[in-house]
Amino acid sequence: MEQLVKLVPLFPLISFAIIGLLNRKLTKIHAAIFACTGVLLSFVDSIMIFIAQLNHGPVEVKIFDWIVAGDFSASLTFLCDHLSSIFLLVITGVGFLIHIFSVGYMMEDDGFRRFFAYLNLFIFFMLLLVLGNNFLVMFIGWEGVGFCSFMLIGFWFKEEANNNAAKKAFVMNRVGDLGFLIAMCLIFVAFGTLDFTKLFSGGLLASTSVSNEMMTIITLCLFVGAMGKSAQIPLYTWLPDAMAGPTPVSALIHAATMVTAGIYMVARTNFMFNMTPATLEFVAIIGALTALLGASIGLFQNDIKKVLAYSTVSQLGLMFLALGLGAYSAAVFHVVTHAFFKALLFLGSGSVIHSMGGEQDIRKMGGLKKHMPVTYMTFLIGTIAISGIPPLAGFFSKDQILAAAFEHNKLLFVLGMIVSLMTAFYMFRLLFLTFHGSFRGTHEQEHHLHESPFTMTFPLIVLAIFSVIAGFIGFPHALGEQMGIHNWFDDFLKTSVSSVHTEAHLSTELTMMGITTALILIVIFIARSIYVGKGAIPEDEKVERKGLQKLIYNKYYVDELYNALFTRPVDKLSAFFQNFMDNKIVDGIVNGLGKTTTKGGSYVRILQSGNINAYAILFILAITLLFLIILF
Amino acid sequence: MLTLLLILIPFISSGLFFLIGKNIARPLAIVCSIIELVLALFVLNNYMSGHHDMLQMNLAWISSPGINFHIGIDGISMLMVLLTTILMPLIVYGSFNRNFENASTLYGLMFLMQGSIIGSFLAMDGFLFYLFWEIALIPIYFIILVWGGENRQKITFKFFLYTLFGSLFMLVALIYVYLQTPERSFDIQALYQAGRQMGLTEQAWVMSAIFLAFAIKMPIVPFHTWQPATYYTAPTPGVMMLSGVMSKMATYGMIRWILPMVPDAIQEYGYILIIISVISIIYASLISIVQKDFKYLIAFASIAHMGLIAAGIVAANTQSLQGSLIEMLSHGINTIGLFFVYDIIVLRTGTSEMKKLGGIRGIDSSFAFLFFIIVLSVVALPFTNGFVGEFLLIVGLFQSQPIAASFAGLSIILGVVYMFRSFQAMMLGETNSLTANLPRLNVQEKTILIIVVAMIITFGVYPKMILSITEESIKSLLQGIQ
């Protein structure tokens, strides 16, 4: 078991090293084989670990001491328990499929090898993140994935826009990371260790008396870190921009894995969050608001990837809503199902973009159904799954979150409902505009339309299958009891996260499900009547919009606001420091002092003969004199 | 004896360069720097295996005023010696891509500098420390004056005066403490004892006076205005010596000559020094953001990093001191890497103005890659040496001044802003007429950058080998203070 755990991150690291070092000496095919094999081995390993984990407690594996200074010590230690083994499966499984997809998608690209090297490195850091047994190892992964994300968003580095997006992502993540860093400092000061096992299963958390305010600050700081990585208000604006990267990157990093790191972190430290109801409340509110914000912006986006990006922001918000309600396993469950259908949708959009020759504007698509049947079918499945229609995966996980909200706070429940309905609308709008109706692009593009090669459709099919069936691992409690299907997922996670059992009555649960589903179906019908029935296409950018619509269309002007509040003031302040403070004031005083001295010096000019020997003699004389004074 | 050799070899090497012809200057310089490195590693081996006595040496020198030629080595000086001796061959090798006039004189001065810097790291006598401290200034003054760029007379004059001005305060303070010693001795232990017995006010004055000298040398805000112009005009080997190695004399000096000598003052008024340092970090980081020239950017970024080191030293706990030491090493390695990158670009394009460059990654991806790893270390990404230092510094600082530490933490955000901005401007985007035909790295350049990057990653992944060198000494230092 220990060996297995050690090997998981090692495989992708090795394949990264091979591709990175040999680079151009490898053919593209060989590079692809190395990259995919690395992740595949890791996936197989994860399956073995998972099977072993089924009847096994947590395993701790120490690799070596990393940073040790006095009573501070952080070793590179892995912790493999039920929570991490779930994440291992998702990361390596979905990661492997996306690797396969990328082979086809990136084949024509010059940076093919570089792309796979970074993808492998990303998997390595992501595995480190979920395997770390202390905050610091988690932080290695945390920053490491941020770095890979930076490299991959700016993969096509000749475009200035891509580089700016990459930099924005990294800087914003760093804002969150400062929260993480301060949280680590606080935890070390309060508990004397950053170890998960010592803190949680070792009982240090319970036995150390730490004031409630302190715990609240710690958890808030941690959550600030999560906000950055998982794109929550106010640190979400980097994620839509991150779509500048190649589409498989968006699927892997900016949908299925990296952006869920924040959820993983909160789930991992759930014992801390449980001690601070105030923080949990805050997490729930931020999550609900982010979900609403993302979904509402998604309604008006016309770039296929931007719709999905805002959808991801919104879905991540739902996960935080669940965390804030203490429904940790529901949040993790949604991470899993979301990983399947969102990766599917992104890869599907990649397949579309590939076929459209790089076009991403859905107003110029339409009618792709008949040209790309496999992409269409799988995309349809993904859309149904994310919309939350039973019995596909999204339904079950979203239902759990809504049920938790229903128990806890009716307002949050209503918000969650609205988000679900909006989700169904923008997703079906996307589906209809892209695949239904007639083609609206150029003649040349139409001629070029084709179904993607098997390396690309195969991952779509597999992900579609999982988007259909994955929900059953977390069957609703009340209904499950009646039908004799128990919620396996909740049980499995029990050892890692505390569970709040929602004691919903069967009748309430069924009514809720019924109403939700009915409403969603109505929304879909409306979307259909607008975009298929009337054949409406969204208006051009130039059209004047008014009121709320204008506000949402312009994404609430948040980017503009941040520019005005942070970017420009910092630049101005820096320029002020440079031009005025530094050059005029600080250096002015220094030079002023210098000049005064020189003036005074002119009186003793007689002594300054300019003769070096004379200086040397004076110097020695002075020192001697000094010592004479000292001695007597 | 070994310790004495560590000082003598650079001085002897230095002398050789004034005798030999200029055609063998380069190989000689490399050989001398490597001999010193090997010696340092040998000493390290001795030190780590517990032969500490061999490394002490105490000769009566100018006996009547109580000045001894007392040198010795502990973990802290050991690391500083390693820093100097590891960087020296790189600096020498790095200078080979330019044809300096009178190269042998240049190398002679560089070794003179190395010798006196190492001397200051090993000195266990107040007067001896001061002597080496001042001697080190002379060669760098001439290096910049002779081989420097525009405006060098004016700039070196200011640099020289400014640092000399600071040193005088240190001298006065040292003499003051010396006068308190019962036996009239400059020996380090005597000074420590005398210093600790002084009243709080006296300690505070001594602390301020010595700190002023160090603050100028590092430098930190507001004593930094000599630095950007000096760095800018200095020839690459000179600026590498200055920022990579010489600035560490000041931070080392704080650990050796301030902390144990005036512990009460540090305890009582240390927070003021920490506040100054943290202001320095933020101020310099912000100014870095608007720099147009890459060399100025390195200069200001350097001020920011030195500020963090200084704050950590004053915080005086195990984490902050270990952090400051490993950060000194990292800073040395990283700045040398950055200045070398600067040198490569300037040699090829004739400019270091970042806006004029761009697209280099498309021409030479391995150059961009190596450069980027250095950037990552500067912004303290985990698994780089920069992270280990910065993390320990912030954790350590946090224990004594949580608010200040949180502000210091802002540097991890601002650092990304200015470093990534510069990397993007120079390396990414489309090429232009200046960069379109850029020659790729040659073997010499690649070798140096690879060594730098290898150290960045090795010390980042396995910092224990560095931390263990200084562990014991820091423990006893802290015991002495409490």
pLDDT in tens, B174-190: 999 999 998 889 999 99
pLDDT at B53: 66
Q: Which domain holds residue B406?
A: 269-482
Residues of chain A with pLDDT under 70: 499-504, 597-598, 600-632
Whether residues B366 and B427 fall in one domain: yes
Whether residues B335 and B476 fall in one domain: yes
- Identify whether the C-beta of residue A28 lies closer than 8 Å to the C-beta of residue A97: no
Residues of A in contact with B398 (CB under 8 A): 182, 185-186, 188-189
Q: For A181, which of B225, B409, B416 is closest by C-beta distance?
A: B409
- C-beta neighbour count of B453 within 10 angstroms: 21
Instruction: Give residue A246's region: left, alpha or beta (phi > 0; psi -120 to 50).
Output: beta
Whether residues B96 and B233 fall in one domain: yes
Tell me if residue A392 falls in helix, strand or coil.
coil
Whether residues B393 and B336 fall in one domain: yes
Tokens of B267: 């305890």
Tokens of A302: 């016309």
Cα angle, residue A54 at apex, residues A50 and A60 outer, rounded to 5°: 65
CB contact under 8 A, A174 and B381: no
- Identify whether the C-beta of residue A240 lies closer than 8 Å to the C-beta of residue A233: no
Cα A257 to Cα A266: distance, rounded to the nearest angstrom: 15
pLDDT at A607: 52
Whether residues B254 and B273 fall in one domain: no
CB contact under 8 A, B225 and A582: yes
Of A64-73, B246-255, B256-265, the one with minimum mean pLDDT is: A64-73
Q: CB within 8 A of B159, min separation 6: which ones?
A: B141, B144, B226, B230
Average pLDDT along chain B: 92
In angstroms and rounded to an integer, the radius of gyration of the C-alpha atoms of chain A is 29
A160 at the B interface (CB within 8 A)?
Answer: yes
Count contacts between A and B (CB, < 8 Å): 148
CB contact under 8 A, B383 and A72: no
Residues of B in contact with A590 (CB under 8 A): 162, 225-226
Cα B86 to Cα B456: distance, rounded to the nearest angstrom: 13
Residues of B in contact with A114 (CB under 8 A): 365
pLDDT at A631: 47
Instruction: Give residue A100's region: left, alpha or beta (phi > 0; psi -120 to 50).
Output: alpha
Q: Looking at the complex, report in whole angstroms how far the Cα of residue A114 sits from the nearest Cα belonging to chain B.
A: 10
Residues of B in contact with A143 (CB under 8 A): 381-382, 387
Stretch B403-431: mean pLDDT: 92
pLDDT at B278: 95
Single-letter amino acid, residue B388? V
pLDDT at A19: 92
A:45-84 residues touching chain B, CB 8 A cutoff: 64-72
Segment (H or E) for A35: helix A28-54
Whether residues B19 and B59 fall in one domain: yes
Stretch B272-301: mean pLDDT: 94
- C-beta neighbour count of A55 within 10 angstroms: 6
Q: Which residue has the tokens 């890979």?
A: A148
- Identify whether the C-beta of residue B277 lies closer than 8 Å to the C-beta of residue B411: no
Whether residues B83 and B107 fall in one domain: yes
Q: Which residue has the tokens 């699927």?
A: A251
Cα B278 to Cα B289: distance, rounded to the nearest angstrom: 17
CB contact under 8 A, B287 and A154: no
pLDDT at B61: 79
Of B209, B231, B261, at which residue does a domain stop? Answer: B261
Q: Number of structural domains, chain B?
A: 2
Cα A485 to Cα A310: distance, rounded to the nearest angstrom: 34
Of B47-61, B157-171, B342-356, the one with minimum mean pLDDT is: B47-61
B186 at the A interface (CB within 8 A)?
Answer: no
Q: For A171, which of B319, B413, B467 is closest by C-beta distance?
A: B413
Strand B57-62, strand A59-69: pairing: unpaired
**Which of B63, B67, B428, B432 best tests the A interface by mutation, with the highest count of A CBs <10 A?**
B428
Whether residues B299 and B217 fall in one domain: no
Q: For A574, which of B65, B289, B382 is closest by C-beta distance?
A: B289
Q: For A157, which of B417, B428, B461 is closest by C-beta distance?
A: B428
CB contact under 8 A, A574 and B222: no
The pLDDT > 70 percentage for chain B reads: 100
Cα angle, residue A158 at apex, residues B364 and B300 outer, rounded to 5°: 70
pLDDT at A474: 82
Residues of B in contact with A154 (CB under 8 A): 428
DSSP β-bridge partners for residue A77 = A62
Question: Which pLDDT band, with edges at 50, 70 and 90, does B292 fall under?
Answer: very high
Of B261, B287, B320, at which residue does a domain stop? Answer: B261
- CA separation, residue B226 to residues A81, A586, B156, B286, B349 (Å): 56, 11, 9, 18, 27
Of B215, B231, B261, at which residue does a domain stop? Answer: B261
Whether residues B321 and B434 fall in one domain: yes
Burial class (CB in 10 A: 0-12, 13-18, 19+), A592: exposed
Whether residues B427 and B385 fall in one domain: yes
Residues of A in contact with B179 (CB under 8 A): 630
Burial A232-265 (b: 16+ CB within 10 A, else e): bbebbbbbbbbbbbbbbbbbbbbbbbbbbbbbbb
CB contact under 8 A, B392 and A69: yes
CB contact under 8 A, B467 and A68: yes
Span A354-376, pLDDT tens digits: 998 888 998 888 888 889 999 99
- Identify whether the C-beta of residue B68 lies closer than 8 Å to the C-beta of residue B61: yes
Q: Looking at the complex, report in whole angstroms how far the Cα of residue B420 sits from the nearest Cα belonging to chain A.
A: 7
The residue of chain B nearest to residue A577, with distances taken between CA atoms, is: B287
Q: For chain A, first and last CA: distance in Å?
A: 78
Tokens of A165: 């997006």
Whether residues B414 and B275 fall in one domain: yes
Segment (H or E) for A75: strand A72-80
B:203-222 residues touching chain A, CB 8 A cutoff: 221-222
DSSP alpha helix (H) spans, B49-102: 75-94
Stretch B358-387: mean pLDDT: 93
Whether residues B251 and B303 fall in one domain: no
- Identify whether the C-beta of residue A70 lies closer than 8 Å to the C-beta of residue B317: yes
- Identify whether the C-beta of residue A291 lies closer than 8 Å to the C-beta of residue A416: yes
A:103-122 residues touching chain B, CB 8 A cutoff: 114
Span A508-540, pLDDT tens digits: 888 888 898 999 999 999 999 988 887 777 777
Span B94-151, pLDDT tens digits: 999 888 888 888 999 999 999 999 999 999 999 999 999 998 998 999 999 999 888 8
Closest CA relative to residue B401, chosen from B296, B273, B263:
B273
B399 at the A interface (CB within 8 A)?
Answer: yes
